[in-house]
């Protein structure tokens, strides 16, 4: 059954059965009978093992993973140093609650993140850090912090944005109707405008601010540095700097959601650093601990002044997750951010060749290993059906992909991906598109 569970996986795809295999079929049938139907499984992959960029299913088929478990396993699946840190920490202390007690892995991680935060230093300190368990929880806390600090309650976010699914975070999320439909009223005072263009900010300043949205009532503008679920959209140059300037002019806090774009994925620790803009608050999760559940809110130190008891969580900053994150950060800085940059350039170049070859493929966009293409029909319109077909066919050729936006395929592999693996992913994609 688990043929290679204790040995190394091959570094390229290897399919042994038709898909899904027998064992996968059995587990999927059991899963479907008892788990929430709200889960969105795109294809029938039942994972047993992961190593680097490869995952093995329960029937011994090995896939090249261009998803990293939705942009999470930054250092690759089961990086030996991360696994070792987790094992050691687990043997010492599994939990104590950083809300009520102190422990070293959390102190070390808070210091590292604070030292690297792209905020101006204040008395030698760049940031304060609050630890959470997920991206939604980071954004939830960031809204609370912004309201608490500014004593204002409105929030501005962007169409296509994704910030999580708890009520506060969901109020910011404006990605798909199904994520809101049937769930009743959300946080009041949240407005959305289109993402990424100066035209949208013109609309904000020349229409909304002068009519329905007094800027002095806005606590925060929440923006993704690169819009993730919305399609891996890179904003126009100057867009993020202009938000900074609008925030400064009106006493609004700039919250940058780096849950998907952060932690080295774009070749810099925080994607906002590509534009050299300093936000007030950054939210993190996903890649921060290579797969263990952890998130963080970083703020300029003078903003995080909420009093003891005003915000806390039992599990946030769990010692095992912090130990994994501490190793993750050092691996990112030692080599993986550079690898993300270099492999990302190769990936974009290869995808652009496919775009020249097939008129159904748009030019690539993104930064580092946060890259996407759109699939198009013969008239050049977005073609979600073709995208879904390609994602499904790629799975049957041993390549794991994820969609995003209306008709995009996103490429967010582990940051350890090799040159050869990028080339093989491109070859499989070429074959699948031809089919």
Ligand X SMILES: Cc1ncc(COP(=O)(O)O)c(C=O)c1O
Q: Give least dist CB 20 to ligand X, A.
A: 25
Q: 60, 4 in Cβ contact below 8 A?
A: yes
Choice from 69, 105, 135, 291 touching ligand X (CB under 6 A): 135
Q: Give least dist CB 72 to ligand X, A.
A: 9
Which residue of the chain is nearest ligand X when measured via CB? 135
Query: Which is nearer to ligand X, 51 or 257 (by Cβ)?
Result: 257
Q: 217-236: which residues touch ligand X (CB under 6 A)?
A: 224, 228-229
Binding to ligand X by CB under 6 A, coded x per residue (else -) over 248-267, reads ---------x-xx-------
Angle at 66 between CA 61 and CA 72, to 5 degrees: 105
Q: Look up residue 362 and give its DSSP letter.
A: P
- Check binding of 158 to ligand X (CB under 6 A): no
Coil, helix or strand for 431?
helix
* Angle between helix 419-434 and 337-357 (nearest 10): 20
Q: Give the integer Cα–Cα distance in Å for 385 and 375.
A: 9
Q: Give least dist CB 291 to ligand X, A.
A: 12
**Residues 72, 78, 82, 83, Cα dihedral to 10°:** 140
Query: Which is nearer to ligand X, 365 or 393 (by Cβ)?
Result: 365
Binding to ligand X by CB under 6 A, coded x per residue (else -) over 275-304, reads ----------x-------------------
Q: Give the integer Cα–Cα distance in Å for 394 and 363.
A: 19
Span near ligand X by CB under 6 A; candidates 34-42, 128-136, 246-254, 387-395: 128-136
Q: Give the integer Cα–Cα distance in Å for 48 and 296.
A: 29
Query: Which is nearer to ligand X, 21 or 267 (by Cβ)?
Result: 267
- Check binding of 367 to ligand X (CB under 6 A): no
Q: 262, 270 in Cβ contact below 8 A?
A: yes
Which strands make up the sheet holding 408-411, listed edge to edge?
Answer: 365-367, 370-374, 408-411, 402-404
- Check binding of 398 to ligand X (CB under 6 A): no
Q: Give least dist CB 303 to ligand X, A.
A: 20
Choice from 69, 98, 160, 164 touching ligand X (CB under 6 A): 164
- Check binding of 52 to ligand X (CB under 6 A): no
Q: Give the integer Cα–Cα distance in Å for 383 and 377.
A: 5
Query: Which is nearer to ligand X, 146 or 259 (by Cβ)?
Result: 259
Q: Give least dist CB 405 to ligand X, A.
A: 12
How many C-alpha atoms does 418 have within 13 Å on its Cβ side?
Answer: 9
Query: Which is nearer to ligand X, 55 or 271 (by Cβ)?
Result: 271
- Check binding of 140 to ligand X (CB under 6 A): no
Q: Give least dist CB 130 to ligand X, A.
A: 15
- Report CA-CA distances (Å) from 19 to 50, 199, 373: 18, 47, 26
Q: Give the integer Cα–Cα distance in Å for 166 and 129.
A: 21
Span near ligand X by CB under 6 A; candidates 107-115, 134-142, 242-250, 318-326: 134-142
Q: Give least dist CB 416 to ligand X, A.
A: 21
Q: Look up residue 14 and give its DSSP letter.
A: B
Q: Give the integer Cα–Cα distance in Å for 285 and 71.
A: 10
User: Of the candidates 53, 102, 152, which has an alpha carbon nearest to the alpha carbon of residue 399?
Assistant: 53
Query: Which is nearer to ligand X, 127 or 285 (by Cβ)?
Result: 285
- Check binding of 134 to ligand X (CB under 6 A): yes
Query: Which is nearer to ligand X, 48 or 370 (by Cβ)?
Result: 370
Angle at 37 between CA 35 and CA 41, to 5 degrees: 90
Q: Give the integer Cα–Cα distance in Å for 366 and 402.
A: 15
Instruction: Write the CB contacts of 303 (distance below 8 Å, at least 6 apart in sequence).
Output: 128, 145, 149, 253, 280, 281
Number of residues that bind ligand X (CB under 6 A): 14
Q: Give least dist CB 162 to ligand X, A.
A: 5
Total H helices, total E strands in the chain: 12, 15
- Check binding of 270 to ligand X (CB under 6 A): no
Q: Give least dist CB 368 to ligand X, A.
A: 15
- Which stretches of the chain bind ligand X, using CB under 6 A? 134-136, 139, 162-164, 224, 228-229, 257, 259-260, 285
């Amino acid at each position: 059954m688990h043929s290679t569970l204790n040995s190394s996986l091959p570094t390229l795809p290897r399919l042994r059965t038709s898909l899904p295999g027998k064992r996968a079929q059995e587990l999927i049938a059991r899963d479907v009978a008892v788990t929430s139907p709200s889960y969105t499984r795109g294809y029938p992959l039942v994972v047993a093992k992961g190593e680097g960029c490869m995952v093995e299913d329960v029937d011994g088929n090995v896939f090249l993973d261009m998803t990293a478990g939705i942009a999470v396993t930054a250092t690759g699946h089961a990086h030996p140093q991360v696994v070792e840190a987790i094992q050691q920490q687990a043997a010492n202390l599994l939990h104590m609650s950083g809300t009520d007690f102190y422990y070293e892995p959390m102190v070390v991680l808070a210091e590292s993140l604070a030292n690297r935060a792209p905020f101006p230093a204040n008395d030698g300190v760049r940031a304060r850090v609050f630890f959470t368990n997920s991206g939604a929880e980071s954004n939830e806390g960031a809204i609370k912090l912004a309201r608490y600090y500014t004593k204002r309650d409105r929030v501005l976010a962007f169409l296509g944005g994704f910030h999580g699914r708890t009520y506060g975070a969901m109020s910011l999320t404006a990605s798909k109707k199904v994520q809101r439909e049937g769930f009743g009223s959300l946080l009041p005072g949240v407005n959305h405008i289109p993402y990424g263009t100066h035209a949208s900010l013109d609309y904000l300043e020349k229409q909304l601010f002068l009519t329905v949205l007094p800027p002095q009532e806005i606590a925060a503008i929440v923006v993704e540095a690169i819009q993730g679920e919305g399609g891996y959209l890179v904003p126009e140059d100057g867009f993020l700097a202009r938000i900074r300037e609008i925030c400064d002019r009106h006493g609004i806090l700039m919250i940058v959601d780096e849950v998907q774009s952060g932690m080295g994925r774009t070749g810099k620790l925080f994607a906002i650093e590509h534009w050299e803009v300093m936000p007030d608050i950054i939210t993190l999760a996903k890649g921060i601990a290579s797969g263990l559940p952890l998130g963080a809110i970083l703020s300029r130190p003078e903003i995080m002044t909420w009093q003891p008891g005003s915000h806390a969580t039992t599990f946030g900053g769990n010692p095992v997750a912090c130990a994994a994150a501490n190793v993750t950060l050092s691996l990112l800085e030692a080599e993986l951010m550079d690898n993300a940059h270099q492999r990302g350039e190769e990936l974009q170049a290869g995808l652009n060749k496919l775009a020249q070859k097939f008129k159904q493929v748009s030019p690539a966009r993104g930064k580092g290993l946060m890259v996407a293409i759109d699939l198009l029909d013969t008239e050049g319109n977005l073609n979600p059906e073709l995208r879904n077909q390609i994602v499904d066919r790629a799975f049957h050729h041993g390549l794991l992909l994820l969609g995003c936006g209306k008709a995009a395929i996103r490429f967010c592999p582990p940051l350890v991906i090799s040159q050869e693996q990028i080339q093989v992913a491109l070859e499989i994609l070429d074959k699948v598109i031809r089919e």
